[in-house]
Amino acid sequence: MTITSVADLGRAARTAAADLAVRTRAEKDAVLHAMAGALVADAAAIIERNAADVERAREAGTADAMIDRLRLDDSRIAGMASGLRQVAALPDPVGEIVRGYTLPNGLQVTQRRVPLGVVGIIYEARPNVTADAAGLALKSGNAVLLKGSSSAAASNEAIVGVLSAAAESAGLPGAAVQLVPGGHDQAKELMRARGLVDVLIPRGGAGLIRSVVEESTVPVIETGVGNCHVYVDAEADLAMALQILLNAKTHRPSVCNAAETLLVHADVAAGFLPSALAALREAGVTVHGDHRVQGYDDAVVPATDDDWAAEYLSLDLAAAVVDTLDDAVAHIRRWGSGHTEAIVTRSLEASRRFAATTDSAAVMVNASTRFTDGEQLGFGAEIGISTQKLHARGPMGLPELTTTTYVVTGDGHVRG
Amino acid sequence: MTITSVADLGRAARTAAADLAVRTRAEKDAVLHAMAGALVADAAAIIERNAADVERAREAGTADAMIDRLRLDDSRIAGMASGLRQVAALPDPVGEIVRGYTLPNGLQVTQRRVPLGVVGIIYEARPNVTADAAGLALKSGNAVLLKGSSSAAASNEAIVGVLSAAAESAGLPGAAVQLVPGGHDQAKELMRARGLVDVLIPRGGAGLIRSVVEESTVPVIETGVGNCHVYVDAEADLAMALQILLNAKTHRPSVCNAAETLLVHADVAAGFLPSALAALREAGVTVHGDHRVQGYDDAVVPATDDDWAAEYLSLDLAAAVVDTLDDAVAHIRRWGSGHTEAIVTRSLEASRRFAATTDSAAVMVNASTRFTDGEQLGFGAEIGISTQKLHARGPMGLPELTTTTYVVTGDGHVRG
């Protein structure tokens, strides 16, 4: 494969974006359905290319779990196609009038949603992200530059080839969906393509996200690092607290909205911790506790500062006893990643204070941290979960892939 | 003056921000009124410190126009105080429920506006920006770190001293409003204070903005560079077009929403350009034209690529004849800065196509580019005009100084 320069890809993407910006929902949905059909029709070819990636990973001694994430089969390709059809069924965010009014001088003002333009995605996850991200970008009227991991290079090339050809056959420019080939040098070029790429969204582990944030001159939306806390308040229903804690920690420990730290109010520590620590042990969870938590169970291992900061993504949990709700909040503000914090309480005042002061993208009151998720919150699709404050915070759906423009209409208005 | 480290200022600002986030509108408005009163009460002391800056500027041979921008007197200080009182009269964006709904499982979801946290402003403008920016940040619940130009150091120190003391006397932490002392090294520290500062807003010339965008690891909102276009369509009312053009170019040439380029459809060039070029000449405007424009008036000087890209901020205007609306849009997309473009036309279709394809923060239909302004659009106050696509685009008011948080309330909800 010839490696085209990222700048060339970016310029082609910009041209495609200008075309995409004026497409109707009907046209975009037709393209998404064409892409879904093409993925299923070309499944055998994609699987063959995927086999090469899998073989390469095996030879490199990659862990079985990673190889499983990489592998594509008919059912996973059908899942990708079905994801594209689901995105087609969602409302088009483009054209929404966010605000509108008429000024005293008669000028009519509307603020409208328009596509961002060119969206870059840098990801290290499974090859199905390729189709998901392309579908979401396209539906919101954006051209997309996809930079997957080199371990999935053949799979991604096959998938993007199919998607791009389907787009062209449905009347869109093929450059609406492009893969950025190559390795780290090309990833860096993408991060420096300010003026060609409107936003970069890294999807993957903390290391990837940090490096994109530090190296990029293109605006970045940080996603996904979750050091989520469950705080059991003095006024908590302790049975509910245990249910929420176990769900938040053990339902799917490897994801960003899993709980990583438990904070228990001193007033209920004696009533809650013995049974909670036993239940956690039974569920296979290793608890890293402060000295007060250690006093309740011999299996608790001592926590260090690293534990308070950790996004374990495993069956580990940091735990501390706090004297007040404000101490819990101070702990979260110091050590948290601003993703999701849950409070279990019967007290309206405690829930209000916790929600107002934790400074995170999402606060769960008497609910599991696992609900911070675009699908769970009813968005229909999710491009990632932003843990930064600008532009988008929390789960990002289609509207978060747009910007706005003011359209002001007069009849010869000038300023006096 | 001892120079405190920017990190220390940032930590103090974060602590202040946590306090500010839970203040009611009434509390914040009381502080704004206290600040306004203190500015007027301490006017003499501020003017004395300002005189030192003015003296220093004079000794350095600074141009009279710049010295005038720097100078404070009773009336200008009264203007700063009145600005703070106007901000107090505006609605509080914090606490607004942006979205809210109940999910099928009974979870109640609200997305609420909350302060960004710590806002950094780097500016080179007049000392009155110090009070304006502090007022807007405070009203939206943010702590602010102000880095003014060294030429206004004594004035800014005096103003921030007064504002901070007034905040403290009204019960807020004094660190809600802090000046970052020192020069370029401290400005750079501020740009690298990721994790302490939530957003940086540069206010000033293109050079300042570019350097902040390139050097900052803190998220930046780009403001203000305006290469605005007026496009006279084939279907334009030519008298209206001339009125709008003259207003956009000559009403206040030194600001970012002034017009810098005129594009005329070939069909109306012969009908429009002779009188328009004469009127521009009479208004003291130098026109830099392409070869077709040059044919209509001997006073037109030849335009180069630099002219198409220029933000003159002076009585200069680039001008070209285009064959189609799409050519006008292509010119704007290639050379524009994404600030404001105006179209003059009677055609609904032309206005729709122009608005949908120019890709700028604002499009004026039969109105002057000068209306892209927070006050003109009814925002009551403006922190700047964003020419980027993330977070805020176009004039930024108080809501643009906030982010949101999801608050999800259940009664023991867990994921199955």
The per-residue pLDDT for range A86-144, each reduced to its tens digit, is: 999 999 999 999 999 999 999 999 999 999 999 999 998 689 899 999 999 999 999 99
Q: Is the pLDDT of residue A406 over 80?
A: yes
Which residues, at least 6 apart from A196, have a Cβ–Cβ distance to it below 8 Å? A7, A10, A11, A13, A14, A118
* Portion of chain B with pLDDT greater than 90, in percent: 87
Q: Which of B299, B326, B309, B296 is nearest to B260 (CA)?
A: B309
Q: Is the pLDDT of residue B1 over 80?
A: no
Residues B170-175, mean pLDDT to the nearest whole number: 93
Chain A residues with CB inside 8 Å of B22's CB?
353, 356-357
Grade residue B214 by pLDDT with cuts at 50, 70 and 90: confident
Alpha-carbon distance of A255 to A73, in angstroms, equals: 23
Structure tokens belonging to residue A145 = 């530059």
Q: Which of A359, A179, A11, A275 is nearest to B198 (CA)?
A: A359
Which of A20, A370, A408 to mutate: most B Cβ within 10 Å?
A408
Could you tell me where in chain A the CATH 3.40.605.10 domains are found? 6-222+393-408
Could you tell me where in chain B the CATH 3.40.605.10 domains are found? 6-222+394-408
Chain B residues with CB inside 8 Å of A116's CB?
389-390
B238 touches chain A (CB under 8 A): no
- Considering only A222-231, A265-274, B26-35, B324-333, which range has the smallest mean pLDDT? A222-231
Residues A198-202, mean pLDDT to the nearest whole number: 93
pLDDT tens per residue, range B312-360: 999 999 999 999 999 999 999 999 999 999 999 999 999 999 999 999 9
| The CATH number of domain B6-222+394-408, selected from 3.40.605.10, 3.40.1180.10, 3.20.20.70, 1.10.10.10 | 3.40.605.10
Alpha-carbon distance of A151 to A94, in angstroms, equals: 35
What is the overall mean pLDDT for chain A? 95
* Portion of chain A with pLDDT greater than 70, in percent: 99
Task: Return the number of CB contacts < 8 Å for A and B.
Answer: 215
Residues B59-80, mean pLDDT to the nearest whole number: 93
Chain B residues with CB inside 8 Å of A367's CB?
107, 408-410, 412-414
Residues A12-29, mean pLDDT to the nearest whole number: 95
Q: What share of chain B is helix, strand, coil (3-state, %, to 5)?
A: 45, 20, 30
CATH number corresponding to A6-222+393-408:
3.40.605.10
* Portion of chain A with pLDDT greater than 90, in percent: 87
A4 touches chain B (CB under 8 A): no
pLDDT value for A224: 75
Q: Is the pLDDT of residue A207 over 50?
A: yes
Which residues, at least 6 apart from A230, have a Cβ–Cβ distance to it below 8 Å? A241, A244, A245, A248, A249, A259, A261, A262, A263, A341, A342, A344, A369
**pTM of this structure:** 0.92
Could you tell me where in chain B the CATH 3.40.309.10 domains are found? 228-371
- Looking at residue A355, its amino acid is A
A18 to chain B: closest CA residue: B357
CA distance to A57, A123, A313, per residue, from A63 (Å): 9, 19, 17
pLDDT value for B222: 86
Check: complex ipTM more than 0.90:
yes
Q: Is the pLDDT of residue A376 over 60?
A: yes
- A324, A326, A328, A333 alpha-carbon torsion, rounded to 10°: -170
Residues 311-370 of A with CB under 8 A from B: 333, 351, 353, 355-357, 359-368, 370
| The CATH number of domain B228-371, selected from 2.170.150.20, 3.40.50.620, 3.40.309.10, 3.50.50.60 | 3.40.309.10
Residues A279-287, mean pLDDT to the nearest whole number: 98
Alpha-carbon distance of A304 to A312, in angstroms, equals: 13
CB-CB under 8 Å, B390 with A403: yes
pLDDT value for A222: 86
Q: Is the pLDDT of residue A1 over 60?
A: no
A247 to chain B: closest CA residue: B414
pLDDT value for A153: 94
Phi first, then psi: what are they for B259, rounded to 5°? -75, 140
pLDDT value for A3: 57
Kindly report the CATH class assigned to A228-376.
alpha beta
CB-CB under 8 Å, B409 with A366: yes
- Beta-bridged to residue B237, according to DSSP, are none
Could you tell me where in chain A the CATH 3.40.309.10 domains are found? 228-376
B101 touches chain A (CB under 8 A): yes
pLDDT value for A114: 97
Q: Is the pLDDT of residue A2 over 90?
A: no
pLDDT tens per residue, range B12-32: 999 999 999 999 999 999 999
CB-CB under 8 Å, A414 with B368: yes
